[in-house]
Structure formats: structure tokens, C-alpha cells
Amino acid sequence: MIKHYHFKTWVEKMKRTNKLLIAAAFATAGIQPASAIELNWIEGVDMSVYGSLRLGYESVRPDKETPALKDYTGPRDAYSRVGFKASTALTDSITAGIIYEVPLDLANGDARTPDGRTEDVRVAKFQLSGDWGNVWVGHGWLPYYNAISYKVDLFDTFYSGFSTFAGFRRGETIAFSVPVAGLNVSGAYSKGDRNDRQQDTVDNRKQLAVTKDIGNLSLAAAVEDVKNKPGNSGSDVTYYAVAAGYTTGPWYFGAKYETVDSDINDSTRFNNDGDVSWNALASYTSGLHTYTGMVGHLDGFGEGYSQLAYRYQWRPNTRFFVEYYTEEETAAIAPERQGSLAGTGDFIGAASGGDVMTVGVRYDF
């Protein structure tokens, strides 16, 4: 288990470097190629600064205006970030590394995620890796997302990634990924729920994922078990999921299916027993042009929704995009330059879904 006070103290110290890291990245990004910015500071240690700046201009139209959500047109960040990596070989088979990555909200000029999460650090972990796999501790992406959700999380706007029950990234985590008999097996244990937008009621979460690549076909299965803190009135919950991704020529197809096992038997509540989430995605690339479409359903958060996108890869590190997103019930759409207010009483029921058209640009370094 990772001691809470040790991790918290370390994160607080690292936060002091955020402004310097962000300033350095912006100062150098404009003159760098598509690859990360290499830093030759210590002999034998590979270091680099990287980032992704993503900003869209969106037109949001809720099906029904409310005091909290009205028609508007304005800018919104699409999960910009800047980070630092360092690694060094300890032996012929073990490499040690650290990753520290902070979010940027370009639309609000702040170092935070734009979806309303309390996450002020995206990744902060120490890792050991080699041909045998890897193990890491800290704050990072979880196995369930990597195996399941990523197969359909392929859009460029703020509305990417809202199609899953399970957690994306969590702090106070220990995780591993190893090859076993032709499979890739990964797991994680996280204490608490540091990234929740609401009050932290989670005691711990455990994940296990198995993936198998067969030529151009990738198959995956995963489970996440979430235990609430003692005395919390909520239900413990387990998510089960399967997913597949297939590439053939210029085409990519992705799909996933998730279901909920809980003690909740109320269809008006999130995590109701038997609730499901599913997605089907297709993408076609021709030269510098990529066309993507997805349909999906997430019980308790958006219900039915769909997404269409066009992407133009202007330079190796720069793309322009146009996306259309629609949801049956209010979930991801939110007031201008604010995080999602889903779950706040009159907002989610009264707005009754809506549509969004976004144009934007993404620059990676």
C-alpha cells in the first residue's frame, strides 16, 4: 500500500514545478519538431518534455434550456497537457523511469482538467520496466481503460472519453503489466478515489485486464471492483467488460461492452444493477484525411449518443478537426468553459440532452 501522507507530500512538492514546466514547454514548443523536447542534462539519463495543446471552438445547443445551461458558442479545452519523462537503465533487463504530467485548460488559462474533475496532476509515477513487462506506483492510467475504453476513445474534442463506467486515471496506485502465455495481463490497486468530481466515498478499487493480439485483431476483457468506505450508504460495485479492435488497410473498427453488478435496484440511479454501456466505432483514413463515426449507449449518463468527426493532419504534429456530438440525456455537455454538471438535480433532468458542433486544432510536441 502507498502511504497517503508520503504521496500527498510528494505531489505538493511537485506542484511547485508546474508553472516552470508549463512555461518552458510553451517557450520551446513553437520551435520543436513533432517529437518530444530532449533534455541532455544528466549523462546516462534520457529526459524529455512533451505536451499536447488542444483547443476547440464549440456551439452547444441543449434540447431544453435551463438556468444552468443555455445555448452558447465559445472556446473549450480538449484535455491539453504537458509532461516530463526521465529514464535510465539499471541493468540489462530493468529500466527505471518517472513521468510527471499536468493538465492544462487553455480556454480558462488554468492548470486543471476541463471536465470538472479535481485532478491537478494527470500522471505522477515511478516505473520499472523491461522485456518482462512493467510495474509502477503513483498516479497514472489504469489497465481497464487501456484495454477497453481506449479502443473507442479516438476523438479530439472535450466530448471524447465519456463512454465508460470505470475510472481512467487514479492516484495512490500500484499497477503491473506482464506477458503470460501469449497474453498481456495487467492489474492495479488504487487506494481512495483522488480524481472524483464529487465527495470521495471510495475506499479502494481493483482492476484486472487481459488482452490478446491476433494479427490485426486486438481482443480484451477486464473487470473493476470498487469498494466504498465503511459507513457509506452507496453500494459496492463491479464492472465487467469486453472489447475488440480491428485494423484492415485504411479502416479501423472498435467496439466495447460493459455491464454493472451492484446492490442498487433503481433505474434512476447511476450504477444500477444490470446497467450497460456499449460503443461501436468505425474510422477511415485517406492520406491526410480521417473520418470517424461512433454510436453508443451509457445507462445513467447520456443514455444514447453519437459522434462524427473529420480530421486533417496538416503537419506531423498539427491537426485540425471538426466534430459533431449529440446525447439523448444531459451528461457531457456543460455550461460555457465549465465542467459537466451532470448529477446536479435540475440540470441533468431539465436540459434533456443536446447537440454540439466543434472546430479546433491540436498541436503535439
Rounded mean pLDDT, 230-237? 75
Burial class (CB in 10 A: 0-12, 13-18, 19+), 358: buried
Percent of the chain at pLDDT > 70 equals 83
Is 156 within 8 Å of 58 (Cβ atoms)? no
CB atoms within 10 A of CB 62: 24
- Supply the pLDDT for residue 35: 65
Q: Report which of residues 337 and 297 the model is more confident about.
A: 297
Q: Could you give the 3-state DSSP secondary structure of residue 175?
A: strand
- Rounded Cα distance, 238 and 284, in Å: 34
DSSP 79: -
Mean pLDDT, all residues of the chain: 85
Highest mean pLDDT among 38-42, 88-92, 264-268: 88-92
Judged by average pLDDT, the poorest of 101-115, 209-223, 239-253 is 101-115
Q: Which residues does 73 contact at the CB level (< 8 Å), separation at least 6? A: 57, 58, 59, 60
Cell of 274: 444490470
- Rounded Cα distance, 58 and 43, in Å: 46
Is 260 within 8 Å of 154 (Cβ atoms)? no
Cell of 33: 519538431
- Supply the pLDDT for residue 4: 38
Cell of 267: 433505474
Q: Report which of residues 74 and 202 the model is more confident about.
A: 74
pLDDT band of 120, cuts 50, 70, 90: confident
Cell of 108: 480558462
**Range 4-364 has CATH code 2.40.160.10:** yes
CB atoms within 10 A of CB 339: 18
Q: At residue 128, does pLDDT exceed 90? A: yes
Is 157 within 8 Å of 56 (Cβ atoms)? yes
- Supply the pLDDT for residue 101: 97
Rounded mean pLDDT, 247-253? 98
Rounded mean pLDDT, 317-335? 92
Q: Left if phi > 0, otherwise alpha if psi is -120 to 50, otherwise beta: which for 195?
A: alpha
Domain layout of the chain by residue ranges: 4-364
- Supply the pLDDT for residue 163: 82
Highest mean pLDDT among 19-23, 161-165, 241-245: 241-245
C-alpha distances out from residue 167 to 62, 116, 145, 181, 202, Å: 27, 15, 7, 28, 12
Judged by average pLDDT, the poorest of 19-28, 119-128, 264-273 is 19-28
3-state helix, strand, coil in the chain (%, to 5): 10, 50, 35
